Structure 1
Amino acid sequence: MTAFLVWGGGGHGRVVADLVRAAGHTVTGFVDRDPAKWGAVVEPGGAAVVASEAELLQAVAAGAPLPAGAGAVALAVGNNADRARCLAALGGRAAPPLVHPSAVLSPSAVLGRGTVAFARVVVNAAAVVGDAVILNTGSIVEHDCRVGHGAHLSPASSLCGGVHVGDGAWIGAGATVIPGVRVGAGAVVGAGATVVRDVLPGATVAGVPARLLSGTAPGPPGPAHP
Structure 2
Amino acid sequence: MKKIVLVGAGGHCKVIIDLIESLKEYDIFGITDQKKQGTILNYKIVGNDDELQSIYKSGVHYAFICVGGITNLSVRNNIYLKLKNLGFNIPTLIHKDSIISPYAHVGDGTCIMAGAIVNAGAHIGENCIINTGSVIEHDCKIGNNTHVSPNAALSGGTKIGCNTHIGIGSSIIQGVAIGDNVTIGAGSVVIENIPDNVVSVGVPSKIIKIKK
Please report the TM-score for the alignment, with normalisation by the length of structure 1. 0.86
Which blocks of at least 5 consecutive residues in structure 1 are unaligned? Answer: 217-226
Secondary structure of the 1:86 match is: helix
Q: Give the Cα–Cα distance (whole angstroms) in 2 for the partners of residues 48 and 31 of structure 1.
A: 9
Structure 2 residue corresponding to 1:49, chosen from 19, 23, 45: 45
Q: Give the Cα–Cα distance (whole angstroms) in 2 for the partners of residues 121 and 26 of structure 1.
A: 24
Q: Give the Cα–Cα distance (whole angstroms) in 2 for the partners of residues 5 and 74 of structure 1.
A: 7
Paired letter, 1:116: C
Cα pair 1:121 1:140 within 8 Å, conserved: yes
- The one-character-per-residue Cα deviations of 1:70-110 (angstroms, maximum 9, x if unpaired) are 34112111132111111111224211110000111111111
- The one-character-per-residue Cα deviations of 1:108-147 (angstroms, maximum 9, x if unpaired) are 1111111100001111111111111001100111111111
Which is greater in Rg?
1
Aligned to 2:178: 183
Aligned to 1:21: 21
Q: Give the Cα–Cα distance (whole angstroms) in 1 for the partners of residues 78 and 122 of structure 2.
A: 24
Q: Give the Cα–Cα distance (whole angstroms) in 2 for the partners of residues 119 and 210 of structure 1.
A: 27
Aligned to 1:212: 207
Q: Give the Cα–Cα distance (whole angstroms) in 2 for the partners of residues 176 and 2 of structure 1.
A: 38
- The one-character-per-residue Cα deviations of 1:36-94 (angstroms, maximum 9, x if unpaired) are x34x1122xx10111310121x348xxx525xx53411211113211111111122421
Aligned to 2:4: 4
Secondary structure of the 2:120 match is: coil
Paired letter, 1:75: I
Cα RMSD, aligned residues only: 1.6
Cα pair 1:4 1:20 within 8 Å, conserved: no
Which range moved further: 146-155 or 23-32?
23-32
Superposition map of 1:130-209 within 5 A: 130-209=125-204
Question: Identity across aligned pairs (percent)?
Answer: 33
Q: Structure 1 runs of 4+ off > 6 angstroms?
A: none
* Deviation at residue 150 of structure 1 after TM alignment: 0.6
Which blocks of at least 5 consecutive residues in structure 2 are unaligned? Answer: none
Paired letter, 1:98: L
Aligned to 2:31: 30
Q: How many residues are aligned here?
A: 205
Q: Give the Cα–Cα distance (whole angstroms) in 2 for the partners of residues 209 and 33 of structure 1.
A: 39
